[in-house]
Structure 1
Amino acid sequence: MTDNPAPRLRPFAQVDVFSAEPYRGNPLAVVLDGDGLDAHAMQRFANWTNLSETTFLLPPTDPRADYRVRIFTGSEEFPFAGHPTLGSAHAWLGAGGIPRRDGELVQECAAGLVRVRRDGGRLAFAAPPLTRSGPVAEADLARIAAGLGLPRHELLDASWLVNGPEWIGVLLGSAEQVLAIRPDYAAMAGLKVGVIGPHPDGSGPGFEVRTFIPGDAAAEDPVTGSFNAGAAQWLIGTGRAPSSYLAAQGTALGRAGRVHIEAAGDDVWVGGSSVSCIEGFVLL
């Protein structure tokens, strides 16, 4: 731990991500000037905000990047996460940030450089490569099935989808099954589980998503960019999803998150709307 400077007022925003309507997406706390704060101070503030993630914006160390971000949950630092990427970009632009390249900014995080583009009135990030993918051990799948309250055979497929958070993705047969889950978190202890199932054709969103984090204060995440990124790479890559689709998440929590997925060339873009709900200063 290093010595922090004397506390001072720092610009701050709280952003609702993956929703154009305030208070219907996933909130993110953004400290727009994290200069001089060490990890201990950042972690303490992130724990205090009591949100799923809090970010701190810093000058980049890579000349290709527009800014650098550190991402904290209430208990740990993540190398990458999806809704913090979009929310941080939204806050940075709203504070007057000017990208080095027209139409696209570059965020530096512990996982590397992440491109963020303007997609109409939305922002979208290029999904980072998965650092772990592939089959899930049968013992873990048995625990997940128990935790989801489903027979094992109703888990149609599963894959590790690690791009920062260590997600396990589970495919169900329908969005209705996804929404009916009443999770047993104790049965899934130690696993981060994302579940996805298709909506009927023509019903609006193509897929319904829920993500469960046993042991975390926010056991079900409202809308999860990192999981949707990994799920899109998995499902598009295996032909189970079209190259462009809309995912709904947060329905079971009374939210209305919408995640826009588009595969273009070698990239899978994960996009959504964001809206600033609180702007001001914090003493740090």
Structure 2
Amino acid sequence: MTQRAFQQVDVFTETPYLGNPLAVVLDGSGLSAQAMQQFTDWTNLSECTFVLPPTDAGADYRVRIFCPGRELPFAGHPTLGTCHAWLQAGGQPRGEHVVQECGVGLVRIRRDGARLAFAAPPLRRSGPLDEADVALIARGLGLTRGDIVAHAWCENGPPWRGVMLRTAAQVLTVRPDATVLAGLDIGVVGPQLPDADTAFEVRAFFHTMDALSEDPVTGSLNAAVAQWLIGAGLAPERYVASQGTAMGRAGRVHIERDAAGTIWVGGASVTCISGQVML
């Protein structure tokens, strides 16, 4: 084992401990996938990342992203948190954008003042869910089928199934049944009242090993939901989503579709712990 630079970052917040935490090992060289997974499981966080030299000449760095029990090809809050930690540690992008190499390929990250934003990767699967899935999700969330007013596949690495409810308040009342939703990753979204400071409330439920967990703030889900909602005319081309409210967090995810049609998913990050880790 050797000492390696380490940061624990809170993502999608400007205030420490109100976002989604991420463990970042800034030098993952020489570590096996087993060692990475073991450390990830030990952190008891939703994700941990390991920074490596890029294998693609167009990338500034490569990252491997792990959650408890498995490796992910892409995830949003680890993308922003890893980039924040890499920049804090002295990383210098070679071009206008930071370019991250990960399991889905190259992901561009831009700096918007105090925020970072990633270009949403293409959806691997889109379109409406099967009606049997919608009925199952409604039952698993303690809802009637009529409570779900829109739905879609939102797969961009994680296989999210997205459902829209009538209101943000209804989203906050959801109590998922892990038995009914076994094996499903579910994103739930609902519109806020017109005078709210955000446009939508989002919640994300996913399986880690044998348990159903809720993610405080989820970049990959918000990226896919934005592609779905904006594409379907259910959301404006620029909005802010809140997530984590039901968990006592105050995550804010900034969405923007630019003139070229690229959807950018952004938020602030703050380093809460910086030091060395033995791995």
TM bin (shorter chain): over 0.9
Q: Say whether residues 1:125 and 2:118 are aligned partners.
A: yes
Aligned partner of 2:191: which letter? P
- Asked if 2 retains the 8 angstrom alpha-carbon contact of 1:12 and 1:279, the reply is yes
Pick from 166, 169, 178 the counterpart of residue 171 of structure 2. 178
Which residue pairs with 2:59 in the alignment?
65
- Asked if 1 retains the 8 angstrom alpha-carbon contact of 2:69 and 2:208, the reply is no
Which residue pairs with 1:116 in the alignment?
109
Which residue pairs with 2:46 in the alignment?
52
User: What is the 5 A alignment of 1:129-168?
Assistant: 129-168=122-161
C-alpha deviation, 1:52, in angstroms: 0.4
Task: State the SS of the aligned residue for 1:213.
Answer: strand
Q: Say whether residues 1:266 and 2:261 are aligned partners.
A: yes
Which residue pairs with 2:100 in the alignment?
107
Distance in 1 between the 2:154 and 2:175 partners?
23
C-alpha deviation, 1:215, in angstroms: 5.2
Pick from 72, 77, 83 the counterpart of residue 78 of structure 1. 72
- Asked if 2 retains the 8 angstrom alpha-carbon contact of 1:46 and 1:72, the reply is yes
Aligned partner of 2:7: which letter? A
Distance in 1 between the 2:99 and 2:269 partners?
18
Which residue pairs with 1:27 in the alignment?
21
Which residue pairs with 1:282 in the alignment?
277
Aligned partner of 1:57: which letter? V
Distance in 1 between the 2:33 and 2:83 partners?
21
TM-score by length of 1: 0.96
Which residue pairs with 1:15 in the alignment?
9
Distance in 2 between the 1:61 and 1:76 partners?
22
- Asked if 2 retains the 8 angstrom alpha-carbon contact of 1:186 and 1:214, the reply is no
Q: CA RMSD in A?
A: 1.0
1:222-247: per-residue Cα shift (whole Å, max 9, x none)?
00000000000000001000000000
Task: State the SS of the aligned residue for 1:161.
Answer: strand
1:53-81: per-residue Cα shift (whole Å, max 9, x none)?
00000000011100000000010000000
Pick from 254, 270, 280 the counterpart of residue 248 of structure 2. 254
C-alpha deviation, 1:218, in angstroms: 6.4
> How many residues align structurally?
277
Aligned partner of 2:249: which letter? R
- Asked if 1 retains the 8 angstrom alpha-carbon contact of 2:115 and 2:268, the reply is yes
- Asked if 2 retains the 8 angstrom alpha-carbon contact of 1:188 and 1:214, the reply is no
Pick from 182, 193, 217 the counterpart of residue 189 of structure 1. 182
User: Structure 2 regions of 5+ residues with no counterpart?
Assistant: none
1:178-209: per-residue Cα shift (whole Å, max 9, x none)?
01111212111110000000001121100000
Which residue pairs with 1:224 in the alignment?
218
Q: Deviating runs (4+, > 2 A) in structure 1? A: 214-218
Distance in 2 between the 1:240 and 1:248 partners?
17
Distance in 2 between the 1:120 and 1:237 partners?
27
- Asked if 1 retains the 8 angstrom alpha-carbon contact of 2:68 and 2:208, the reply is no
Task: State the SS of the aligned residue for 2:8.
Answer: strand
TM-score by length of 2: 0.97
| Matched-pair identity in % | 63
Distance in 2 between the 1:112 and 1:85 partners?
12
- Asked if 2 retains the 8 angstrom alpha-carbon contact of 1:65 and 1:108, the reply is yes
Distance in 1 between the 2:208 and 2:272 partners?
28
